[in-house]
Amino acid sequence: MKLPGVAYASNFLALRRCLPCAALLSGLLAGCGVPGSGPTPGATPDKPAQPLAEAGGCPRLAGITLAPQDVGVLRTHGSTITNAASVTAQEPGVGPFEYCAVQGLILPLDSQAPPIHFQLNLPARWNGKALHMGGSGYNGTVVTGTGPINMALFTTPLARGYATFGSDSGHPATAAGADFARNEEALLNFAWQHLKKTHDVALHLLQRYYGQPPQRMYFAGASTGGREAFTAIQRFPLDYDGIVATAPALNFAGMRLMGVKLGQAAYRVPGGFLPPPKQQLVRDTGVRVCDTLDGLTDGIVAAVDACRARAPELMRRLRCPGGRDTGPQCLSDAQLATVRLLHEGFTLPWGMAYGQTGYDGYNVLEGTDFSGLLGLGQSPTPASPPTIVANGYLYTQGDAYLKYFIARNPSFDSLRFDFANPGPLQARINELSAVVGAIDPELRPFAERGGKIILAQGLADEVVSPNQAIGYYRWQVSQRGQTAVDSYLRFYTVPGFQHGGGAFIPFWDLLGVLDRWVERGPAPEVLVATDVSPGNSGRQRPICRWPLIARYKGSGDPNSAASFNCSP
């Protein structure tokens, strides 16, 4: 099944390849209301309008209203700029810089749907490039674009001269998290439409402010933002020149169902819940057994595949005598069953979009820590509704997904959901697995126009399974061949990196790597990242292209990247 965005992209690619069709393409774009395709407001054929950056500047943007055709190819009721103000900021290593902060609304068709709130930042020293920045979780908070890229910490793009923008994806955050999904337009905005709408408004305003469109348009995001990055290039491959996607939630439906599976294992099976000390025990056991497999004892499990081969041994070490719960020093059989589910993932007796039949497991036996805020929770009983602190991130988010996206019933009991016989909910799950998610393997329209992808994944991620990204990458290589994939996608894995925290937290310039590659620089190979985790700040490691890992040479400063080689 092809998504609408792919068909849209294929048609436009055909037009772009046909140079004699330039006039036709221009007419089609104007007819569709693509930003920047028609005359600049206030311009005449003889006298183009002066860019606002030169004609009074930032304050003149406030109060501007954009007609629906100025917002772009997706239907809206237009857009309104609610505020525009000049800001002076300071950043170490950059010094003072100025930008115009623009806030606005994109108005929905459905009067019951919330508007999309967005922010666009227009730097005084513009480098001619723009960066769309993604969100997190179920979104609901405006991505201001004034900070660093999530999970790719470095100097803020705005301070480096990029025009940056982001949105709240079309709904405000609430305690329930996912209750917005009961409104169809709000759900579609969250899934993918807010990306196109926000992009097109930003492009229109960039043209109006600077008098020209950006030379390059990038997208960067992590987790939900990583899903959004892949969604953008799968559905609208002509809109972006490159993306940085860290820990992307590609198989969104599978990940949410995995959360429900974990909730059932912990709370429907007597004794299935792991209290925090046992969650820590699992992590410590994996590190103790597997830390040295890369040649160095440093608290980081880098040789994850070799460690996975020891999973049966690790399970035996963790098991209480007789399989009964005898205390915090071991796991009962019911608790081991929860760990096994987390480690191996699950397979459905029915399929979802793009051939997905479940979700790949996590590296829980390979040193991933599930005892933190985004882990398995602290309570042996489920709250009503579940909360992240009490019942864990994965179960809480999965429960909300079934309640609001699938059943659309706040009283729905996800612990009683029958995976083998979901009844009428199966069709809804299958439908939404194509709508919300970025598991579509078709990347050729983006690649064929020269688009580039930097994909990064922490191997100790406790929210987005690293094995899902690995599976997606493997599929690309199996279908396209290594040489072809190398021309548009570079995949890096980071041992010890969790979903933002972990034993190794990389400080690295992924946007700079992407930008140089897009600008016909050398394709990236081994990267170097500096660890900013508490207690280890300053040590460096080479970050290798998967499936290679950083192995200690056996001598040299263990805190220097030069003391490691990338090898199988």
pLDDT at 273: 98
Distances in Å between the alpha carbon of 197 and those of 71, 190, 269? 6, 11, 45
Q: pLDDT tens digit string along 266-322? A: 999 999 999 999 999 999 999 999 999 999 999 999 999 999 999 999 999 999 999
Each domain of the chain, given as residue ranges in start order, spans 1-32, 33-42+49-214, 254-435, 444-567
Across residues 331-353, what is the average pLDDT?
A: 97
The active-site residue, picked from 37, 136, 167, 223, is: 223
Distance of alpha carbon 425 from alpha carbon 395, whole angstroms = 19
**pLDDT in the model for residue 93:** 87
pTM: 0.90
pLDDT above 70 as % of the chain = 91
Residue 466's pLDDT band (boundaries 50, 70, 90)?
Answer: very high
The rounded mean pLDDT for the chain is 91
Q: Is residue 199 flagged as an active site residue? A: no
Which pair of structure tokens corresponds to residue 520?
């016909």
pLDDT at 443: 98
What are the E-state strand segments in 371-415? none
Statement: residue 493 has pLDDT above 70: yes
Predicted confidence at residue 49, as pLDDT, reads 66
Q: Which of 360, 461, 509, 531 is catalytic?
A: 461
Is 486 a catalytic site residue? no
Q: Which of 499, 515, 533, 563 is catalytic?
A: 499
CB 217 within 8 A of CB 426: no
pLDDT tens digits for range 209-227: 999 999 999 999 999 999 9
d(C-alpha 224, C-alpha 390), whole Å: 23
Check if 132 is active-site: no
**Structure-model confidence comparison of residues 536 and 195, the more confident one:** 195
Least reliable range by pLDDT among 57-61, 441-445, 508-512: 57-61
The CB-side HSE value for 71 (13 A sphere, CA atoms) comes to 27
Q: For 155-176, write each residue's pLDDT tens digit.
A: 999 999 999 999 999 999 998 8
Exposure pattern of 124-152 as b/e (b: 16+ CB <10 Å)?
eebeebbbbbbbbbbbbbbbbbbebbbbb
For range 410-434, the mean pLDDT? 97
pLDDT level of residue 52 (50, 70, 90 thresholds): confident
Q: Could you report the per-residue pLDDT of 344-365, keeping only the tens digit for each?
A: 999 999 999 999 999 999 999 9
What confidence score (pLDDT) does residue 230 get?
Answer: 98
Give the pLDDT mean for 40-55: 59
Flag whether pLDDT at 3 surpasses 70: no
Is 80 exceeded by the pLDDT of residue 471? Answer: yes
pLDDT value of residue 536: 85
The per-residue pLDDT for 12 is 29
Tens digit of pLDDT for each residue in 122-152?
Answer: 999 999 999 999 999 999 999 999 999 999 9
* pLDDT in the model for residue 215: 97
